[in-house]
Amino acid sequence: RRGMPSRGAPRIAVIYVSGIINSGDSGFDPLNGDVAGSARLVKAIRSARADEGVRAIVVRIDSPGGSSIASDVIWRELNITKNEKPSRPLVASMSDLAASGGYYVAMAAPHIVAQPATLTGSIGIYGGKFITGGTFDKFGANIEAVIVGRNAGLESPDRPFTDSERQKLREQIRSFYDGFVGKVAASRKMPVERVEQLAQGRVWTGAQAQQNGLVDALGGLDRAIALAKERAGISPETNVEVVTYPERKSLAELLIEQLSGS
Protein backbone atom coordinates (compact mmCIF):
# COMPACT_ATOMS: atom_id res chain seq x y z
CA ARG A 1 0.00 0.00 0.00
CA ARG A 2 1.17 3.52 -0.74
CA GLY A 3 0.27 6.52 1.37
CA MET A 4 -2.95 6.32 3.39
CA PRO A 5 -5.61 5.42 0.81
CA SER A 6 -9.19 5.96 1.88
CA ARG A 7 -11.74 3.19 1.74
CA GLY A 8 -12.60 2.49 -1.87
CA ALA A 9 -9.45 4.21 -3.15
CA PRO A 10 -8.52 3.38 -6.74
CA ARG A 11 -6.11 0.48 -7.02
CA ILE A 12 -2.90 0.25 -9.02
CA ALA A 13 -1.65 -3.30 -9.62
CA VAL A 14 2.13 -3.80 -9.66
CA ILE A 15 3.19 -7.11 -11.19
CA TYR A 16 6.78 -8.11 -10.40
CA VAL A 17 8.83 -9.97 -13.01
CA SER A 18 12.01 -10.67 -11.06
CA GLY A 19 14.83 -13.03 -11.99
CA ILE A 20 15.52 -15.50 -14.77
CA ILE A 21 12.40 -16.00 -16.90
CA ASN A 22 11.44 -19.64 -17.15
CA SER A 23 8.44 -21.86 -17.72
CA GLY A 24 6.49 -23.16 -14.73
CA ASP A 25 6.34 -21.70 -11.24
CA SER A 26 8.40 -18.92 -9.73
CA GLY A 27 10.97 -19.70 -7.08
CA PHE A 28 14.66 -19.57 -6.27
CA ASP A 29 17.50 -21.40 -7.98
CA PRO A 30 20.74 -21.82 -5.98
CA LEU A 31 22.81 -21.13 -9.11
CA ASN A 32 20.75 -18.47 -10.88
CA GLY A 33 18.89 -16.78 -8.02
CA ASP A 34 15.27 -15.67 -8.41
CA VAL A 35 13.19 -17.39 -11.10
CA ALA A 36 10.23 -15.64 -12.72
CA GLY A 37 7.95 -18.52 -13.69
CA SER A 38 5.60 -17.88 -16.60
CA ALA A 39 2.80 -20.05 -15.16
CA ARG A 40 2.71 -18.09 -11.91
CA LEU A 41 2.98 -14.75 -13.68
CA VAL A 42 0.16 -15.57 -16.08
CA LYS A 43 -2.00 -16.41 -13.08
CA ALA A 44 -1.03 -13.09 -11.45
CA ILE A 45 -1.75 -11.09 -14.62
CA ARG A 46 -5.17 -12.73 -14.95
CA SER A 47 -5.97 -11.96 -11.31
CA ALA A 48 -5.08 -8.28 -11.79
CA ARG A 49 -7.08 -8.21 -15.03
CA ALA A 50 -10.16 -9.66 -13.33
CA ASP A 51 -10.13 -7.08 -10.52
CA GLU A 52 -12.61 -4.39 -11.57
CA GLY A 53 -11.16 -2.03 -8.95
CA VAL A 54 -7.74 -1.99 -10.65
CA ARG A 55 -7.49 1.24 -12.64
CA ALA A 56 -3.99 0.72 -14.02
CA ILE A 57 -1.29 -1.96 -14.15
CA VAL A 58 2.46 -1.48 -13.76
CA VAL A 59 4.83 -4.31 -14.72
CA ARG A 60 7.99 -4.01 -12.62
CA ILE A 61 10.84 -5.81 -14.39
CA ASP A 62 14.23 -6.82 -13.04
CA SER A 63 15.34 -9.64 -15.31
CA PRO A 64 18.23 -10.60 -17.60
CA GLY A 65 15.84 -12.70 -19.68
CA GLY A 66 15.74 -16.46 -20.00
CA SER A 67 13.43 -18.80 -21.88
CA SER A 68 12.19 -17.34 -25.17
CA ILE A 69 8.99 -19.39 -24.94
CA ALA A 70 8.25 -18.30 -21.36
CA SER A 71 8.93 -14.66 -22.27
CA ASP A 72 6.50 -14.91 -25.18
CA VAL A 73 3.83 -16.45 -22.93
CA ILE A 74 4.09 -13.53 -20.48
CA TRP A 75 4.16 -10.98 -23.32
CA ARG A 76 1.03 -12.51 -24.83
CA GLU A 77 -0.89 -12.41 -21.53
CA LEU A 78 0.04 -8.75 -21.02
CA ASN A 79 -1.14 -7.97 -24.55
CA ILE A 80 -4.47 -9.64 -23.90
CA THR A 81 -4.79 -7.54 -20.74
CA LYS A 82 -3.92 -4.32 -22.58
CA ASN A 83 -6.36 -4.97 -25.44
CA GLU A 84 -9.21 -6.21 -23.28
CA LYS A 85 -9.62 -2.85 -21.55
CA PRO A 86 -7.79 0.02 -23.31
CA SER A 87 -8.96 2.50 -20.65
CA ARG A 88 -6.84 0.67 -18.06
CA PRO A 89 -3.24 1.77 -18.82
CA LEU A 90 -0.35 -0.68 -18.84
CA VAL A 91 3.07 0.75 -17.91
CA ALA A 92 6.40 -1.07 -17.75
CA SER A 93 8.90 -0.06 -15.07
CA MET A 94 12.48 -1.28 -15.48
CA SER A 95 14.68 -1.79 -12.44
CA ASP A 96 18.36 -2.87 -12.62
CA LEU A 97 17.90 -5.15 -15.64
CA ALA A 98 15.44 -5.46 -18.49
CA ALA A 99 17.48 -7.32 -21.05
CA SER A 100 16.58 -9.86 -23.72
CA GLY A 101 13.45 -11.61 -22.40
CA GLY A 102 13.10 -8.83 -19.81
CA TYR A 103 12.76 -6.24 -22.57
CA TYR A 104 10.58 -8.65 -24.58
CA VAL A 105 8.06 -8.60 -21.70
CA ALA A 106 8.31 -4.82 -21.30
CA MET A 107 7.42 -4.05 -24.90
CA ALA A 108 3.86 -5.27 -24.28
CA ALA A 109 3.36 -1.92 -22.52
CA PRO A 110 2.73 1.24 -24.58
CA HIS A 111 4.66 3.25 -21.96
CA ILE A 112 8.07 2.17 -20.64
CA VAL A 113 9.97 3.82 -17.77
CA ALA A 114 13.61 2.98 -17.03
CA GLN A 115 16.25 4.13 -14.58
CA PRO A 116 19.08 6.10 -16.26
CA ALA A 117 21.48 3.19 -15.63
CA THR A 118 19.08 0.31 -16.28
CA LEU A 119 20.74 -2.30 -18.50
CA THR A 120 18.18 -2.67 -21.24
CA GLY A 121 17.77 -3.94 -24.78
CA SER A 122 19.89 -6.97 -25.60
CA ILE A 123 17.37 -7.64 -28.37
CA GLY A 124 18.58 -11.02 -29.49
CA ILE A 125 18.58 -14.75 -28.86
CA TYR A 126 21.13 -17.54 -28.66
CA GLY A 127 20.87 -21.30 -28.51
CA GLY A 128 22.99 -24.40 -28.08
CA LYS A 129 23.53 -27.32 -25.76
CA PHE A 130 26.07 -28.87 -23.40
CA ILE A 131 27.52 -32.21 -24.47
CA THR A 132 27.66 -34.53 -21.44
CA GLY A 133 28.07 -37.90 -23.15
CA GLY A 134 31.77 -38.11 -22.31
CA THR A 135 31.05 -37.52 -18.64
CA PHE A 136 28.61 -40.43 -18.52
CA ASP A 137 31.21 -42.65 -20.23
CA LYS A 138 33.64 -41.97 -17.39
CA PHE A 139 31.07 -43.25 -14.92
CA GLY A 140 30.43 -46.35 -16.98
CA ALA A 141 26.95 -45.20 -17.98
CA ASN A 142 25.62 -45.82 -21.46
CA ILE A 143 22.99 -43.72 -23.22
CA GLU A 144 20.96 -45.22 -26.02
CA ALA A 145 18.13 -43.48 -27.84
CA VAL A 146 15.50 -44.48 -30.35
CA ILE A 147 15.07 -41.57 -32.77
CA VAL A 148 12.41 -41.24 -35.45
CA GLY A 149 12.96 -38.28 -37.76
CA ARG A 150 16.06 -36.60 -39.14
CA ASN A 151 16.28 -33.88 -36.46
CA ALA A 152 14.55 -35.65 -33.58
CA GLY A 153 17.79 -35.85 -31.59
CA LEU A 154 18.58 -32.14 -31.91
CA GLU A 155 18.57 -31.55 -28.13
CA SER A 156 20.29 -34.78 -27.16
CA PRO A 157 23.21 -34.05 -24.77
CA ASP A 158 24.93 -37.28 -25.77
CA ARG A 159 26.52 -35.94 -28.98
CA PRO A 160 27.19 -32.77 -30.99
CA PHE A 161 24.77 -31.45 -33.61
CA THR A 162 24.68 -33.04 -37.01
CA ASP A 163 24.88 -30.65 -39.97
CA SER A 164 21.13 -30.97 -40.45
CA GLU A 165 20.40 -30.26 -36.78
CA ARG A 166 22.73 -27.28 -36.71
CA GLN A 167 20.94 -25.81 -39.73
CA LYS A 168 17.55 -26.40 -38.10
CA LEU A 169 18.71 -24.65 -34.91
CA ARG A 170 19.94 -21.69 -36.96
CA GLU A 171 16.53 -21.47 -38.63
CA GLN A 172 14.73 -21.54 -35.27
CA ILE A 173 16.98 -18.85 -33.80
CA ARG A 174 16.61 -16.62 -36.88
CA SER A 175 12.82 -17.03 -36.83
CA PHE A 176 12.54 -15.96 -33.19
CA TYR A 177 15.01 -13.10 -33.65
CA ASP A 178 13.09 -11.73 -36.63
CA GLY A 179 9.88 -12.00 -34.60
CA PHE A 180 11.51 -10.19 -31.67
CA VAL A 181 12.67 -7.33 -33.92
CA GLY A 182 9.24 -7.13 -35.55
CA LYS A 183 7.48 -6.92 -32.18
CA VAL A 184 9.81 -4.14 -31.05
CA ALA A 185 9.16 -2.23 -34.29
CA ALA A 186 5.39 -2.52 -33.83
CA SER A 187 5.50 -1.66 -30.12
CA ARG A 188 7.84 1.32 -30.44
CA LYS A 189 6.40 2.44 -33.80
CA MET A 190 9.81 2.32 -35.46
CA PRO A 191 10.94 0.98 -38.85
CA VAL A 192 12.32 -2.55 -38.72
CA GLU A 193 15.58 -1.28 -40.22
CA ARG A 194 16.04 1.15 -37.32
CA VAL A 195 15.29 -1.55 -34.73
CA GLU A 196 17.83 -3.82 -36.41
CA GLN A 197 20.49 -1.14 -35.82
CA LEU A 198 19.60 -1.14 -32.09
CA ALA A 199 19.22 -4.90 -31.81
CA GLN A 200 21.82 -7.60 -32.54
CA GLY A 201 22.12 -8.29 -28.82
CA ARG A 202 23.39 -4.77 -28.03
CA VAL A 203 22.93 -3.57 -24.44
CA TRP A 204 22.05 0.06 -23.64
CA THR A 205 21.71 2.10 -20.48
CA GLY A 206 18.25 3.45 -19.72
CA ALA A 207 19.34 6.94 -20.75
CA GLN A 208 20.70 5.66 -24.07
CA ALA A 209 17.57 3.56 -24.58
CA GLN A 210 15.42 6.67 -24.15
CA GLN A 211 17.51 8.56 -26.70
CA ASN A 212 17.12 5.64 -29.10
CA GLY A 213 13.36 5.36 -28.60
CA LEU A 214 13.36 2.05 -26.74
CA VAL A 215 11.90 3.62 -23.57
CA ASP A 216 9.69 6.66 -23.01
CA ALA A 217 10.76 8.19 -19.69
CA LEU A 218 13.38 7.95 -16.98
CA GLY A 219 12.64 7.26 -13.33
CA GLY A 220 11.83 4.58 -10.79
CA LEU A 221 8.69 2.79 -9.73
CA ASP A 222 7.20 5.99 -8.30
CA ARG A 223 7.55 7.66 -11.70
CA ALA A 224 5.86 4.69 -13.38
CA ILE A 225 2.97 4.73 -10.89
CA ALA A 226 2.56 8.48 -11.37
CA LEU A 227 2.44 7.94 -15.14
CA ALA A 228 -0.10 5.13 -14.70
CA LYS A 229 -2.29 7.44 -12.57
CA GLU A 230 -2.06 10.18 -15.19
CA ARG A 231 -2.99 7.80 -18.02
CA ALA A 232 -5.89 6.43 -15.96
CA GLY A 233 -7.27 9.93 -15.30
CA ILE A 234 -6.48 9.83 -11.58
CA SER A 235 -5.39 13.19 -10.17
CA PRO A 236 -1.85 13.35 -8.73
CA GLU A 237 -3.26 14.32 -5.31
CA THR A 238 -5.42 11.20 -5.07
CA ASN A 239 -4.04 8.46 -2.84
CA VAL A 240 -4.14 5.03 -4.41
CA GLU A 241 -3.86 1.51 -3.10
CA VAL A 242 -0.92 -0.34 -4.62
CA VAL A 243 -1.59 -4.08 -4.86
CA THR A 244 1.37 -6.34 -5.67
CA TYR A 245 1.32 -9.53 -7.71
CA PRO A 246 2.23 -12.39 -7.48
CA GLU A 247 1.51 -12.70 -3.77
CA ARG A 248 4.66 -13.10 -1.73
CA LYS A 249 5.27 -16.63 -0.48
CA SER A 250 5.98 -17.12 3.21
CA LEU A 251 9.28 -18.55 4.44
CA ALA A 252 7.47 -21.76 5.40
CA GLU A 253 6.03 -22.13 1.87
CA LEU A 254 9.46 -21.60 0.31
CA LEU A 255 11.04 -24.20 2.63
CA ILE A 256 8.29 -26.73 1.89
CA GLU A 257 8.81 -26.22 -1.86
CA GLN A 258 12.56 -26.76 -1.54
CA LEU A 259 12.15 -29.88 0.61
CA SER A 260 9.47 -31.33 -1.66
CA GLY A 261 11.53 -30.63 -4.78
CA SER A 262 8.91 -28.38 -6.40
User: Which among 108, 58, 109, 90 is positioned nearest to 225, based on CA atoms?
Assistant: 58
Cα–Cα separations (whole angstroms), residue 212 to 25, 60, 136, 200, 206 = 34, 21, 49, 14, 10
Alpha carbons 220 and 233: distance in angstroms, whole number:
20
Residue 140 burial by CB count (10 A; 0-12/13-18/19+): exposed, middle or buried?
exposed
DSSP secondary structure string for all residues of 175-218: HHHHHHHHHHHHHHT--HHHHHHH-TT-EE-HHHHHHTTS-SEE
User: Which among 136, 12, 114, 118 is positioned nearest to 64, based on CA atoms?
Assistant: 118
The CA radius of gyration of the chain, in Å to the nearest whole number, is: 21
Taking the CA atoms of 172, 173, 175 and 179 in sequence, report the sign of the dihedral they define.
Answer: positive
Element (H, E) at 232: helix 221-232
Catalytic residue numbers read 100
Q: Between β-strands 90-99 and 111-114, what pairing exists: parallel, antiparallel or unpaired?
A: parallel
DSSP secondary structure string for all residues of 78-121: HHHHHHH-TTS-EEEEEEEEEETHHHHHHTTSSEEEE-TT-EEE
Alpha carbons 170 and 123: distance in angstroms, whole number:
17
